[in-house]
Amino acid sequence: MSIEELARANVRALTPYQSARRLGGNGDVWLNANEFPTAVPFGLTQQTLNRYPECQPKAVIDNYAAYAGVKPEQVLVSRGADEGIELLIRAFCEPGQDAVLYCPPTYGMYTVSAETFGVELRKVPVRDDWQLDLQGIADNLDGVKVVFVCSPNNPTGQLINPQDLRALLEMTQGKALVVADEAYIEFCPQASLAGWLTDYPHLVVLRTLSKAFALAGLRCGFTLANKEVIDLLMKVIAPYPLSTPVADIAAQALSPQGITAMRERVAQILDERQYLVSQLRNIACVEQVFDSETNYILARFTASSAVFKSLWDQGIILRDQNKQPSLSGCLRITVGTREESQRVIDALNAEKV
């Protein structure tokens, strides 16, 4: 048997997540991964690398609980929110039997994780206004154990209507978990569902330090849920998910000063987003700029593939969303520094229509 044949059939069939880093490119303007555009300084205080770290470092958990307004027992920390997605599928979905449901166009890791574990994918596309098709979800809930909803949604940038999220939580009560992916919630904090955990034992909220906290390279994310859910996830998590330096830096980022600095960064990005949106709306090859609650902007272009390629060749790396359902002609642009916005604007203005 060849090595290829030794592998699990679903792994052989798998298309890995096309992460911004894997897609490559030789850019000097990186606006394809929704990262914060500049590095924040940090120092290490822990010098005890001879010892294994705590599985759930207390300082990190306590600081995050205080920040999110939940109890420490309602917080799990992991290697990015992506590991949270994986743990939920591993703990709740029986391979070859259960399904996860999500509503494209949305974040790609729900598919990749489900496929890796041999769990069925149930896709219920959003309506024309990018809101949930609640009837479609209701009709497809059989065998579904986890429903993923990203709000604000990546890549469309808009919030899911809270009354629809309530309807979804009512409909799934006693049947399935509802996972609200809040990777971008710092850009619209009033919309968080964390306060709903007391009402819904099957609600899960995903968070990350990769976006507004400017720590994508740290790989640190959070799952908020009631203790029953957290206890189950604790059964399947690795014994030492976070290294000591990661926990050290995460605890600092979540200190009162760290939170204040994060809020200043968010204000800076929101200003820059306003500037970029207003400029994009005056550019000939830009057909439509969609409202965003996040640190990225989705826009529809005439000849988007040519525009994407042309900017790529000039070292400006955007994210092509053209292949996603209902997003033909769309590119996603991360809000970066003013210099980066200007490079994008100048390059787009130079495109012939």
Pick the stretch among 14-22, 43-51, 76-84, 128-136 that binds ligand PLP (CB under 6 A): 76-84
For the bound state, the minimum distance from the C-beta of residue 319 to ligand PLP, rounded and expressed in Å, comes to: 11
Binding mask 128-157 for ligand PLP (x = CB under 6 A): ----------------------x---x---
- Closest by CA to 179, choosing from 145, 155, 208, is 145
Q: Pick from 57, 64, 82, 307: which binds ligand PLP (CB under 6 A)? A: 82
Tell me which DSSP letter residue 52 carries: P
Tell me which DSSP letter residue 125 carries: -
333 binds ligand PLP (CB under 6 A): no
Please report which helix (H) or strand (E) contains residue 40, including its range.
none
208 binds ligand PLP (CB under 6 A): yes
DSSP notation for 176-235: -EEEEE-TTGGGSGGG--GGGTTT-TTEEEEEESSSTTS-GGG--EEEEE-HHHHHHHHH
Of 230 and 250, nearer to ligand PLP (C-beta) is 250
Of 168 and 183, nearer to ligand PLP (C-beta) is 183
Q: Pick from 216, 246, 283, 335: which binds ligand PLP (CB under 6 A)? A: 216
**CA dist list (Å): 113 to 88, 90, 95, 99, 107:** 10, 9, 12, 12, 11
Question: How many residues sit close enough to ligand PLP to count as binding (CB under 6 A)?
Answer: 13
Cis peptide before 162 (omega within 30 of 0): no
For the bound state, the minimum distance from the C-beta of residue 154 to ligand PLP, rounded and expressed in Å, comes to: 4
Q: Pick from 221, 241, 258, 336: which binds ligand PLP (CB under 6 A)? A: 221
For the bound state, the minimum distance from the C-beta of residue 282 to ligand PLP, rounded and expressed in Å, comes to: 28
Of 240 and 350, nearer to ligand PLP (C-beta) is 240
32 binds ligand PLP (CB under 6 A): no
Of 150 and 317, nearer to ligand PLP (C-beta) is 150
| Chain residue at closest Cβ approach to ligand PLP | 80
Q: Pick from 29, 91, 168, 183: which binds ligand PLP (CB under 6 A)? A: 183
Those residues whose C-beta lies under 8 Å from the C-beta of residue 148, and which sit 6 or more positions away, are 85, 100, 101, 102, 106, 107, 110, 179, 181
- Contact at 8 Å (CB) between 348 and 283? yes
Pick the stretch among 75-83, 274-282, 310-318, 338-346 that binds ligand PLP (CB under 6 A): 75-83
Helical pair 338-349 and 256-280, crossing angle rounded to 10 deg: 20
80 binds ligand PLP (CB under 6 A): yes
Q: Pick from 210, 223, 226, 279: which binds ligand PLP (CB under 6 A)? A: 210
What does residue 37 show for φ and ψ, rounded to 5 degrees?
-75, -20
For the bound state, the minimum distance from the C-beta of residue 188 to ligand PLP, rounded and expressed in Å, comes to: 14
Longest alpha-carbon distance in the chain:
61
107 binds ligand PLP (CB under 6 A): yes
To which residue do tokens 């799934």 refer? 172
To which residue do tokens 């709306």 refer? 281
Dist CA 90 CA 25 (whole Å): 33
Q: Pick from 98, 115, 181, 248: which binds ligand PLP (CB under 6 A)? A: 181
To which residue do tokens 């059989």 refer? 142
Of 110 and 283, nearer to ligand PLP (C-beta) is 110
Of 249 and 283, nearer to ligand PLP (C-beta) is 249
What does residue 330 show for φ and ψ, rounded to 5 degrees?
-100, 135
List residues binding ligand PLP (CB under 6 A): 34, 80-82, 107, 150, 154, 181, 183, 208, 210, 216, 221
